[in-house]
């Protein structure tokens, strides 16, 4: 019972082994610094998800608190994330569009979304659908935990994730161009939405708000200059200038002091309520429309989180429970949906910041959540005059490192052309359509390339004596490559008979030594003056050391090869326990050998019996 509690509540482990003197100060500083970065990012990603900015603070409070209890990574920062916010926005507007526009308009709901038809949908409907999506993502992840599907992330290769991230980052930054220039344009992440957005911006340049552009330019200059200095100093000092919080604070003061919002038409985020939200159960009104998007978001969110968690776990030498991470992320979304939150996941930039600050445990997550709770309770209304353009700049700053990953394409091209193809297909498809379609396209290409690689695996034949050949396949035998082994074995049989390797031929004799080596085993020799030992059929030893995860197609092929083939005698060698158990389930009469020498001993005994029956061996040998 105690062991089960420690597995389900990993916080017990790090609390029990917590070194106050070495860890406490570092974790507190890391948590406070993390909260300073999380506050502006949370509000910016909430706007990206078409939610109220205060929900970004909720997502920055509840999920990190829950993950600190149930998560196994010491460095993962869970909360708002741009990729998931954009996917959530796209899914929600598609679902709400189907609900509101079906039969009422000729415009398909998943195409170009303008300000006119977005305002037709009430904000409450968008919020309701977003909360439903969060709840369903949590349910899917929790179900995957009980089904032990933690290993499913292996299908998300690094090039696929990087291509998907880069394409989505371009969508995210493009969606922020409208508030950056003070325009009121809105494009969903749909087919060919990027060209439509750029066309709309170019044709509406005359409507640009000059005051908004000035605020955007100044914020951009200050933010990126200081972020560059932070990156230069990060190896010299743990102190990090909280430039995001400084920028939004100064911008808020500027707008309040100069009355730019009412006088110059600068868009601000508006009223922000104080206090924690009242818990409420999701209505699930849009559950049917959002089911596929929720499944896709669950897969992407978990895949990205577990890849980050494992990377930092390897770096700092601690263990990660893949299945427990499913439960932690599932509960983060499931429970936070009762507080009207949008989808939460692991943040690349904040997780990297946790590592740079030297955070030791998830106590840093508790500290960050505590600071954000103070903001929610007392300071949230202070940001009512914050310009939306500044939040757009915050999003640009958060996406900077993801955009710079485009240079990794050169590495993929030089090291692995198939990986480059996966990266390129995922990127281009994501840019032209949306993240979901890009992910599916990348998965199809990845699985296709993997299948081709499995089929191209070498099957090696090595000869032990003239009549005993060892056959070894590099990959595990399965339905994809079973015909590769079949063709190689068939080719061996044809060559074997055409070369006269039958026992009746005098061109090549098959010999065995009747002496034992130092280990007490018999061994084969190829000497013309040795005793001919065996029959008219050669032996084929199939090396099964790579067949631990063999599937039913491979099992049935080996069964037929051992029991039905008459041209050669087939023996299965180097068989592990897993393979042996699977073979016994199909045919209990099939003999397997744990190593090659056991098979050679069996061959010797057969030869000796054959020679004895023919009266061609002395009694002292037997």
Inform me whether the pLDDT recorded for 362 exceeds 80.
yes
What is the mean pLDDT of the segment spanning 42-55?
92
Residues composing the chain: 622
Tokens at 10, concatenated: 């990993």
Tell which residue, 332, 392, 420, 336, has the closest CA to residue 68. 332
Task: Enumerate domains of the chain plus CATH numbers.
Answer: 1-11+20-96+123-450 (no CATH), 459-498+532-614 (3.30.750.24)
Phi-psi region of 317 (alpha: psi -120 to 50; beta: other; left: phi over 0): left
Inform me whether the pLDDT recorded for 506 exceeds 60.
no
Q: How confident is residue 264, by pLDDT bands cut at 50, 70 and 90?
A: confident
Q: How confident is residue 217, by pLDDT bands cut at 50, 70 and 90?
A: very high
Greater model confidence, 506 or 355 = 355
- pLDDT tens across 384-396, in order? 889 999 999 999 9
Inform me whether the pLDDT recorded for 510 exceeds 60.
no
**Contact at 8 Å (CB) between 124 and 92?**
no
**Contact at 8 Å (CB) between 167 and 427?**
yes
Sign of CA dihedral 87, 91, 97, 103: positive
d(CA 351, CA 364): 11
Adjacent-strand bridge partners of 541:
470, 571
β-strands 511-516, 468-473 pairing: unpaired
- pLDDT tens across 115-165, in order? 334 444 567 889 999 999 999 999 999 999 999 887 777 777 888 988 998
| Cβ neighbourhood burial of 112 (10 Å; 0-12, 13-18, 19+) | middle
d(CA 49, CA 549): 43
Q: How far is CA 563 from the centre of its chain?
A: 43
Compute the chain's Rg from CA coordinates. Answer: 32
pLDDT value for 319: 87
Q: What is the pTM of this model?
A: 0.74
- pLDDT tens across 515-574, in order? 445 555 444 443 333 334 444 568 889 999 888 888 888 888 898 888 888 788 899 999
CA angle 98, 102, 107 (to 5 degrees): 90
């Amino acid at each position: 019972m105690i062991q089960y509690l420690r597995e389900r509540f990993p916080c017990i482990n790090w609390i029990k082994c917590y070194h106050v003197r070495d860890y406490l100060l570092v974790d507190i500083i890391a948590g406070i610094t993390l909260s300073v970065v999380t506050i502006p990012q949370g509000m910016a990603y909430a706007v990206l998800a078409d939610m109220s900015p205060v929900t970004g603070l909720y997502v920055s409070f509840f999920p990190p608190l829950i993950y600190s209890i149930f998560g196994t990574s010491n460095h993962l920062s869970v909360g708002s994330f741009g990729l998931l916010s954009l996917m959530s926005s796209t899914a929600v507007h598609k679902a709400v569009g189907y609900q509101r526009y079906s039969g009422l308009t000729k415009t398909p709901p998943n195409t170009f979304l303008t300000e006119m038809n977005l305002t037709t949908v009430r904000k409450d409907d968008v919020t309701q659908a977003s909360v439903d999506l969060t709840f369903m993502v949590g349910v899917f992840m929790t179900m995957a935990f009980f089904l032990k599907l933690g290993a499913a992330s292996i299908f998300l290769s690094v090039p696929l994730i990087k291509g998907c991230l880069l394409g989505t980052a371009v969508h995210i930054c493009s969606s922020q161009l409208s508030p950056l220039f003070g325009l009121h344009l809105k494009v969903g992440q749909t087919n060919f939405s990027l060209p439509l957005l750029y066309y709309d911006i170019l044709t509406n340049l005359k409507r640009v708000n000059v005051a908004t552009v000035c605020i955007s330019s100044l914020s951009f200059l200050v933010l990126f200059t200081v972020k560059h200095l932070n990156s230069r100093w990060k190896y010299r000092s743990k102190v990090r200038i909280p430039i995001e919080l400084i920028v939004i604070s100064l911008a808020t003061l500027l707008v309040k002091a100069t009355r730019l919002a009412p006088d110059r038409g600068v868009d601000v985020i508006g009223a922000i309520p104080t206090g924690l939200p009242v818990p409420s159960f999701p209505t699930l009104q849009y559950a049917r429309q959002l089911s596929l998007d929720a499944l896709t978001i669950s897969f992407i969110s978990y895949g990205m989180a577990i890849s980050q968690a494992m990377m930092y776990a390897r770096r700092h030498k601690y263990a990660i429970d893949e299945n427990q991470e499913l439960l932690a992320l599932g509960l983060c979304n499931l429970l936070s949906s009762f507080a009207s939150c949008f989808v939460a996941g692991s943040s690349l930039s904040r997780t990297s910041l946790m590592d740079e600050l030297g955070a030791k445990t998830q106590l840093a997550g508790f500290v960050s959540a505590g600071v954000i709770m103070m903001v929610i309770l007392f300071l949230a209304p202070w940001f009512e005059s914050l310009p939306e353009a500044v939040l757009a700049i915050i999003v640009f700053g958060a996406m900077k490192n993801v955009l710079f990953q485009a240079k990794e394409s050169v590495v993929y091209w030089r090291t692995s052309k198939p990986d480059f193809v996966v990266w390129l297909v995922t990127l281009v498809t994501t840019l032209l359509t949306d993240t979901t379609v890009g992910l599916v396209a990348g998965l199809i290409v990845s699985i296709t390339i993997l299948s081709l690689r499995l089929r191209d695996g070498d099957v090696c034949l090595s000869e032990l004596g003239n009549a005993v050949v060892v056959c070894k396949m590099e990959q595990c035998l399965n339905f994809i490559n079973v015909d590769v082994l079949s063709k190689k074995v068939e080719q061996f049989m044809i060559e074997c008979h055409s070369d006269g390797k039958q026992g009746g031929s005098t061109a090549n004799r098959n010999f065995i030594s009747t002496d034992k080596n130092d280990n007490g085993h018999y061994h084969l020799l190829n000497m013309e003056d040795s005793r001919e030992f065996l029959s008219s059929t050669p032996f084929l030893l199939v090396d099964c050391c790579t067949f631990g995860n063999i599937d039913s197609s491979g099992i049935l092929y080996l069964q037929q090869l051992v029991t039905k083939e008459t041209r050669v005698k087939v023996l299965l060698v180097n068989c592990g326990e897993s393979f042996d158990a699977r073979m016994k389930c199909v045919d209990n009469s099939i003999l397997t050998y744990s190593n090659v020498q056991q098979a050679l001993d069996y061959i010797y005994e057969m030869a000796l019996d054959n020679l004895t029956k023919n009266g061609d061996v002395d009694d002292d040998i037997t």
